[in-house]
Amino acid sequence: MKTNRFINIKVALFIAVSALMAACTIEDANQGVEPKSEKLDITTNIDVQPTTTSVNFDVKSDVSWTVSVSADGAWEGLSVSPSSGVGDAQVTINTGKNTTRKDRSATLTITTAGGVQQNVTLRQIQSEPILEVSSGSGQSLEF
């Protein structure tokens, strides 16, 4: 009879401990623990000449990331490679020559897997005029 009573105490103790453990959630266990921040470090402004056809910038990260491009107007030939990666990498921006008489710009957004974002602003300055005609009255035309 003493053995049955000892077994009953063990079973009751096991049930009580199991109930207490089930009451603790993972959220409770992680309370007070700061989530690991994602590292993302990039150059934020890049200015290039009208004859520049490509430029590189470094992505410094400890997680996976993607690059999206948004350009003003029609910027033919604008692309990035690679458009995604994991960890540190060098990204090449293919710009093509700017043969227009206007500066052009684009925003590259680098986004990590956890949603951290940083922008790179790319500006390619206008090309110089090929021909400038001036009149004696101070007016000029550029081609």
Backbone angles phi, psi at 130, to 5 degrees: -80, -35
Number of Cβ within a 10 Å radius of residue 61: 22
CA distance 81 to 9: 68
Q: pLDDT-derived band of residue 20, with 50, 70 and 90 as boundaries?
A: low
In terms of pTM, does the model score above 0.75? no
- Separation CA 43–CA 56 (nearest Å): 10
Summarised one tens digit per residue, pLDDT across range 64-114 is: 999 999 998 878 889 999 999 999 999 999 999 998 889 999 999 999 999
